[in-house]
Amino acid sequence: MTETPVATDDVLRKRALEALTTARARTTLLTECVDDDELTAQHSPLMSPLVWDLAHIGNQEEQWLLRAVAGRDAIRPEIDSVYDAFEHPRAERPALPLLSPAESRTYASDIRGRVLDILEAHPLHGSALVDSAFAFGMIAQHEQQHDETMLITHQLRRGPAALDAPEPPGGGTTGLPAEVLVPAGPFTMGTSAEPWALDNERPAHHRQVDAFLIDTTPVTNGAFQAFVADGGYTDERWWAPAGWDQIRKHGIGAPLFWRREGGQWLRRRFGVTEPVPEDEPVLHVSWYEADAYARWAGRRLPTEAEWEKAARHDPASGRSRRYPWGDEDPTPGRANLGQRHLRPAPAGAYPEGASPLGVRQLIGDVWEWTSSDFLPYPGFAAFPYREYSEVFFGPGHKVLRGGSFAVDPVACRGTFRNWDLAVRRQIFSGFRTARDA
């Protein structure tokens, strides 16, 4: 297992400052590219108004860094319940007494200024909340997760494009094997050493995994079009019963945002309508759709343990890496992360980010559905609050791994676990398939 070297307080402060600054710059981009009417509108009942996310980010920062870490008095205690994600479902949030866009910006900025003063002087040792600057890293991750949520809202909103980004690098699967064998044996899953890892990633533990084969790259739009053309959405054989009910009830016949026109598939992507690129990983599919495709293809979704072994296990040394390529942090040449591009890169991209066995694009591009329910690891302990992970454990949520182009590196690593309902399609989700060896 990889042990992360102990960093000095100066190094930790610099890392926390960079993470918080990067997150706030992205939040600003996502909330200043549209007018106030767009910020306060609810673009889908599945999502909050953008202005709710903006003030919620500030409120979480106040609660955890000003109050819990620094022990300061509450600045806006009267809004705590308004921005409590567990108290108010997303569909109800537009009716709450929300801060205006101007008030939200001022509030978030005021909190951030106070937080930076705390970061400069507060000891980064003495309790689990501040050791290794954990609370500051947790808040940076929280803001980036809401930035991804806001990017989803941008995808759902109607109207002209408000965001722009360069195209990702090219890919290509010529010469790549369709699948890779992952040998049987134990590996170390999870982490006890990553300083900013969240509670559901802990602790490190050994898992025995039988030999299996996994797709070298995520399933592409072109491959998924073959499933659609073969009547995949009209053949009950491929579907879990709840999934079959879902597509029948809602008339689903293709990934979200796709439509058939003039003999070709088109999609809407951040306000732009374009042909569906066949070589790009399929996006905006539910767990049910991923599972049905895998059955149709004579395969299955990988388990969460299989996915992590394919991503982290180094057969030569027997240890688990932080990332597929090694222990170094992500770089633009290794993975498509951080909203640097507004789409996945073509299948086969990022050869520098391949795993020791040659599996590509395990980090970034698209969240990958696994077959596993979201469950605690042996020895799990909720920290610093039950509502982050524990309340979601059980068969109601499926695990996604690997991150997407919308995920910042601070909230994406080889051990990071995401989860969602099997029906979810608005998220930046794709998948790859596996089979027993």
Is a pLDDT exceeding 50 seen at residue 2?
A: no
Q: How confident is the model at residue 7 (pLDDT cuts 50, 70, 90)?
A: confident
61-103 pLDDT, tens digit each? 999 999 999 999 999 999 999 999 999 999 999 999 999 999 9
Q: Of all residues in the chain, what percent carry a pLDDT higher than 90?
A: 98
Is a pLDDT exceeding 70 seen at residue 6?
A: no
Mean per-residue pLDDT, 219-233: 98
Query: What integer best gives the mean pLDDT of the chain?
Result: 96
Residue-level pLDDT at 20: 98
DSSP run (H or E) holding 60: helix 50-61
CA distance 124 to 195: 12
Is a pLDDT exceeding 80 seen at residue 295?
A: yes
- The residues near 344 (Cβ < 8 Å, ≥ 6 apart) are 168, 218, 280, 281, 283, 336, 365, 366, 404, 405, 430
DSSP string computed for 213-275: EEESSPPBHHHHHHHHHTTGGG-GGGS-HHHHHHHHHHT--SSTTEEEETTEEEEEETTEEEE
Residue-level pLDDT at 1: 44
Mean per-residue pLDDT, 114-125: 96
Contact 435, 299 (CB under 8 A): yes
Q: With the C-alpha atoms ordered 20, 23, 24, 25, is the resulting torsion angle positive or negative?
A: positive
Mean per-residue pLDDT, 208-216: 98
Residue-level pLDDT at 5: 53
**Helical H segments across 279-340, by residue range:** 287-296, 304-312
Residue-level pLDDT at 14: 97
Q: How confident is the model at residue 430 (pLDDT cuts 50, 70, 90)?
A: very high
366-385 pLDDT, tens digit each? 999 999 999 999 999 999 99
